[in-house]
Structure 1
């Protein structure tokens, strides 16, 4: 069985979740969903990975889907915070910093990011609606940076929407292939992708 610590420091991702037992459930669920996929994972699997009884799941969460929703909601909010925390007046520097932080986040938190990006189809319509709104805000943040660069004459982008999707796709895909202990650290990946994006935008 794959354990959470083999993926990433998940406790840091969920540090604001309380009580501790609820946090342990999210840690276990994120690792299980990333390793097996949502549909192949049972609540018994999650409870066993958390070192708790199956009944303990329902003390804190209504269902397996509720666990997925909390992971998806918190994961999206965390990555959005990474983007919106970047400030500065120089469009190229701001874009580079944002891409570096966003790509690094998807490497460092690749377990969470895999679940966040690839298990959306399992969410109920109300939960999906809430998560989609967070995704729209993420896209808007990146699109705004591209637009600022175009307006300042720093970026040469004939299709702002297409360029925005390209930037997001590049960063998000890190979660699919990244493995800890490889040649590049999350920070290395962030620096590489920041340079690639600026070249792509014609900075």
Structure 2
């Protein structure tokens, strides 16, 4: 999930920027629809983290804070990633997702 979200934002930097910074420009109906989708997406991540904690795979954590941190890291890759740089998109996604997953697994897992 993390890797896929990073790769999406690398492949679609303009869409990522718009969804990150321009929601205020939407009309009321479109904003409601986007917020509903965002909330559903957030819930998928929250539920996955909670299940990982419940099964002992992930360390105990403040789920809303961890979820928000992970999603922010993934969503904002478009800010600094540039095609043709020293890392391919899959390398960037692997490094970041590995780092974030190790953070979830580390600490005081059951």
Q: TM-score, normalised by structure 2?
A: 0.89
Unpaired runs of 5+ residues, structure 1, are 1-97
Residue 92 (structure 2) aligned to one of 189, 197, 200: 189
Q: For the aligned residues, what is the CA RMSD?
A: 1.2
User: Where in structure 2 are there 5+ consecutive unaligned residues?
Assistant: none
Moved over 6 A (4+): none
Structure 2 distance, partners of 1:157, 1:108, is 33
Matches within 5 A, 1:33-112: 98-112=1-15
Q: Does residue 119 of the first structure (1) align with residue 22 of the second (2)?
A: yes
Instruction: Please report how far the alpha carbon of residue 157 of structure 1 lies from its aligned counterpart in structure 2 after TM superposition.
Output: 2.9
Question: In 2, distance between residues paired with 1:157 and 1:189?
Answer: 27
Contact 1:107 1:175 survives alignment (8 Å):
yes
Higher gyration radius (CA) = 1
Q: Following TM superposition, by how much is the alpha carbon of 1:175 offset from its aligned partner in structure 2, in angstroms?
A: 1.5
- Contact kept? 1:146, 1:160, Cα under 8 Å: yes
Q: Number of paired residues?
A: 106
What TM-score does the superposition give when structure 1 sets the normalisation length?
Answer: 0.50
Rounded Cα–Cα distance in structure 1 between residues aligned with 2:90 and 2:27? 35
Partner residue in 1 for 2:102? 199
1:58-106 CA deviation, whole Å, 9 max, x = no partner? xxxxxxxxxxxxxxxxxxxxxxxxxxxxxxxxxxxxxxxx111111111
Does structure 1 residue 130 correspond to structure 2 residue 60? no
Which structure's relative contact order is higher, taking Cα pairs within 8 Å and 6+ residues apart?
2
Indicate the residue corresponding to 1:37 in structure 2: none
Name the structure 1 match of 2:70. Answer: 167
